[in-house]
Structure 1
C-alpha cells in the first residue's frame, strides 16, 4: 500500500467535504435573510441522507459489478452495508474504505447542488424524500455509467468503458446531472412568489466566502480524482487553478461590457462556472487549453443565466446556467482542446485528433441530460401529486426559515444584557459625546 497516495486521498476527501459548507454559504448568501437557514439545511440534510444510502447500497450500485452486460447499474447487493470491505488488503494500492468515502462525498455534493433550484419554497421533509429517491434512481446509475471502469471479472459502466468518453472528475455525472435535475425540479415546483424581480442576495460577502471555500475544495475534487500524488494530480491542480481565474475574468468582462460594472456576485459565479467546466477536462488539456475553457465557460454561463427569464423557470441560484451549462461546455470542449501530452492522452480537433472524440463527448452528455431530466421530473411530479412539494403561500411570504425550522438566521431583538442600537452602553460614547469631542 502506497502511504503517500493514501495520505493525498485522505487530504482530498477532507477538501471535498469542505465543499458542502462552502456550497451552503455560497447558496445561503444569495437568498434572502428569511431563507438562508433552510437553504443551508437543504445542503447539509441532503448530503447527510445520501451518505447513509451510500453505505447501505449506493456504493455497491455505483461500483459493483454491472447487472448484465450493458453497464447500466451495479449490483446494489454486492457490497450491501459495506461489511466486507473492513479487512486490510495487503495487495491494494489504496484502502478501499478511503475510496468509498471519497466517492461518498461526491454523491453528497451532487445532491446538495440540486437544492439550489428549490430555494425558499419546498417542504424540508419533501426535499429529503426527493433527495433520497433521486440519489437512488439518478445519481447512482449515472455515476456507474461514468466512474465505474472495468476490472478483473467486473463489468463497469457503459460511458466509461464502451463509449470511452473523458470525464476526469464529474462534468457529466456531477454537474450536468445536478444542473438538469435542478431544471426538472424547478419546473415541477413552479415559480416563487414574486419571481421575476431583481436578484437581491442578502449577504454578498457570504457568497464570496462560499465561492472561495468551493475553490479550495475543488482541488480535492479534481486533483484527488487522480487517486495518486503524482504528475497527473499536479497537472490537474494547475489546470484547475488557471481555469478558475480565467472564468472569473470572463464573466467580469461580460458584466462590464453589458452592464457597466463588475459585480462581486458575477465574479463568484464566473469562478464557479469555470471550475465546473474544467472538472471533466482537467486531465485532458494543457494549461492554455484550461485557460480557454475557463474563459469560454465564464462568458457562456454569464449569458445562460438569463435563460430563466426567457423560458420562465425559477432557478434563482442559477444551478442550470452554471452547472448544467458549465458542465456541458467543459465536456464538449474536450473534443477541441484535448492533447495527448496531458494525462488522459487523447487528441481533440485542435490537436489533429479529428471529430470522433467530440462526437463521443456529445453522446455522453446527451445521454446524461436526457436520463436525468426525465427521471427527475417523474420523481418530482409523483411526490408533488402525493405528499405535495410546496410550502403554503403565506409561509413563503413570511419566510421559510421560521416555519420550517422555527428559527431566524439573525436575531433583531437585543438581549437584556446587550444595548440596542439607539441606547449606548456605559463604555461606549453616545452621539452627543462624539459631537462634543475635540
Structure 2
C-alpha cells in the first residue's frame, strides 16, 4: 500500500467518520433483526453471536486482516502482505486517498464485522456458542480477508485483472456470507422439528426495528464506499434508498398474490433484499437501474427463501435466500444496467456494453461463491471433528439462552412458563397460549 504524502480532506474525513459509525450500528441492528426472528428460548444467544463478532473480528483485523487485505499484493492477486500487521507504521498522519489511513482501516473493519455476523442467521437455534468463538476469527482470516483483497485490495485479481465491478460488497459481504451460511447449515444439519414444528418469529416489532436500523446504517455502507463527500456518494445514497423501497414493494406484491396477506416480516425482508442487491451496484447503475435491481431482488428472494424446504437445508433465518441470492442478483445486474456516467467507462448490456461486463460479473460470482462455500465447509468439518459444532440436543430443546448463557430474554413466569396461564390476568383474558 502506498501512503500518500498529503493531508486528509476534512470534508471527506468527516463523512467517512459518520459512515463508519453507521456501518458499525448495522451489527446491533442485525442482532435485533435476527433476535426477533427466532423463538423466545434463543433470543439472547442470537444477539450474542452478533455482538461477539464485533470483538472477535476487530482483534483479527487489527493484528493481520487489514494488512493482508489492503497491503500491496504479495503475488498472484490473491493476498496482500504483512507490512502493516498490527497497524504498524500507520500513524495519524498516514493518508489513504483523501482520508486518514486509520479511518479507512476502521471503515473496512466494520464491513468484515457484519459479514461474519450475517452468517449466524443460517445456524440459529442449534450451534455451540464456544464453536462460534473459534469459527469467526478463523473464517475471517481464511475467507473474508482474501476475497476482500481480490475485490478491493491493490493488485487483487478481480479488481485489476478480471475487471468485475463491486462498489460496496456484493462479493466480499453478501455472496461470501450467504455461501458460507449454506456450508455451515449443511454441516450442522436441520433444527429439531424442522419442517414439522412452527418456528415463527417471536417478536415482529423487534424485527422491524432491526430492519430499520439496518436500512439506516446501509447509507453509510454504500454511500460511504465512495470514500468522500462527493457526487458519487450522493448517487449511491439515492440508489440505496430507491432499491430498498422497490425490494420491499416487490416482496409484498408476491406475498399478496401468493398468500393473500402482505406481512410485516415480508416488508422487512423485502427491504433488506433490495438493499443487499444494490450494495454491489449502487455506484454503477442509474436511478432507474437501482429501482429495477431492488424490485428484482424483492421478487426473486421472496421465492428463494422457500427453497430450503424443497432442498432440505435448514437456513434458519434465510441468509441464503436473501443474502446469497440477493448478492448474486445485484452483482450480475451490474452487467445489465451499468452506465458509464457512474462507472467512468464500463457499460452494461442495456447501455451498449454487450455481454462482456456481464461475463466478468458471472465469473466473479462463481469463483467467490465456490471459494467461500468450499473453505467454510472445510473449516466447519474440522471444527466439528475437533470440538463439535452442534449444541447438545437437550440444550437445543430447552433453548440456548438458559443452557449456554444462564439467562432468559423474558420473564417466563409472566409468559406462562412459571405459572399457569389462568393465574396471569392479561394472558387469561386474552386466552393466549404461552410460547415455547
TM-score, with structure 1 as normaliser: 0.92
Question: What is the deviation of 1:64?
Answer: 1.2
Residue 166 of structure 2 is matched in structure 1 by 167
Which whole-Å deviations, capped at 9, do the CAs of 1:15-48 have from their partners, x for residues lacking one? 0011011000000000001111001100111231
CA distance in 1, matches of 2:310, 2:422: 44
Residue 389 of structure 1 is matched in structure 2 by 389
2:126 to 116, 121, 126: 121
Which whole-Å deviations, capped at 9, do the CAs of 1:397-429 have from their partners, x for residues lacking one? 110100110100012347xxxxx99689xxxxx
User: Where do 5+ consecutive residues of structure 2 fail to align?
Assistant: 1-7, 415-420, 430-436
Q: Does 1:44 align with 2:33?
A: no
Assess, with a 3 A threshold, how the Cα gap between structure 1 residues 386 and 261 changes in structure 2: closer, same or farther.
same
Question: What is the deviation of 1:199?
Answer: 3.6
Residue 77 of structure 2 is matched in structure 1 by 71
CA distance in 2, matches of 1:199, 1:246: 28
Question: What is the deviation of 1:87?
Answer: 4.1
1:27 to 8, 24, 34: 34
**Counterparts of 1:226-237 in structure 2 under 5 Å?**
226-237=226-237
Assess, with a 3 A threshold, how the Cα gap between structure 1 residues 353 and 320 changes in structure 2: closer, same or farther.
same
Which whole-Å deviations, capped at 9, do the CAs of 1:236-256 have from their partners, x for residues lacking one? 001000110000000000000
Residue 93 of structure 2 is matched in structure 1 by 88
CA distance in 1, matches of 2:132, 2:242: 36
CA distance in 2, matches of 1:346, 1:388: 47
1:140 to 102, 124, 145: 145
Contact 2:274/2:298 (<8 A) preserved = yes
Residue 182 of structure 1 is matched in structure 2 by 181
Contact 2:280/2:331 (<8 A) preserved = yes
RMSD over aligned CA atoms reads 1.6
Residue 105 of structure 2 is matched in structure 1 by 100
Residue 259 of structure 2 is matched in structure 1 by 259
SS of equivalent to 1:341: helix
Which whole-Å deviations, capped at 9, do the CAs of 1:299-335 have from their partners, x for residues lacking one? 0001111110111111120000000000000000111
CA distance in 1, matches of 2:86, 2:365: 31
Residue 245 of structure 2 is matched in structure 1 by 245
CA distance in 2, matches of 1:89, 1:333: 37
Contact 1:284/1:345 (<8 A) preserved = no
Residue 406 of structure 2 is matched in structure 1 by 406
Q: Does 1:373 align with 2:379?
A: no
CA distance in 2, matches of 1:394, 1:344: 57
**Counterparts of 1:176-325 in structure 2 under 5 Å?**
176-196=175-195, 197-325=197-325
Could you say which structure has the larger radius of gyration? Answer: 1
Q: Would you say how many aligned residue pairs link Structure 1 and Structure 2? A: 412
CA distance in 1, matches of 2:283, 2:74: 30
CA distance in 1, matches of 2:240, 2:357: 22
Assess, with a 3 A threshold, how the Cα gap between structure 1 residues 24 and 344 changes in structure 2: closer, same or farther.
farther
After the TM superposition, list the runs of 4 or more consecutive aligned residues in structure 1 that deviate by more than 6 angstroms: none
CA distance in 1, matches of 2:117, 2:228: 27
Which whole-Å deviations, capped at 9, do the CAs of 1:76-126 have from their partners, x for residues lacking one? x21111131024147962111000100011000000000111101111110
CA distance in 1, matches of 2:190, 2:204: 23
Contact 2:94/2:102 (<8 A) preserved = no
Question: What is the deviation of 1:285?
Answer: 0.7
TM-score, with structure 2 as normaliser: 0.92
SS of equivalent to 1:169: coil
CA distance in 2, matches of 1:200, 1:215: 23
Residue 21 of structure 2 is matched in structure 1 by 14
User: Where do 5+ consecutive residues of structure 1 fail to align?
Assistant: 150-155, 415-419, 425-430, 432-438
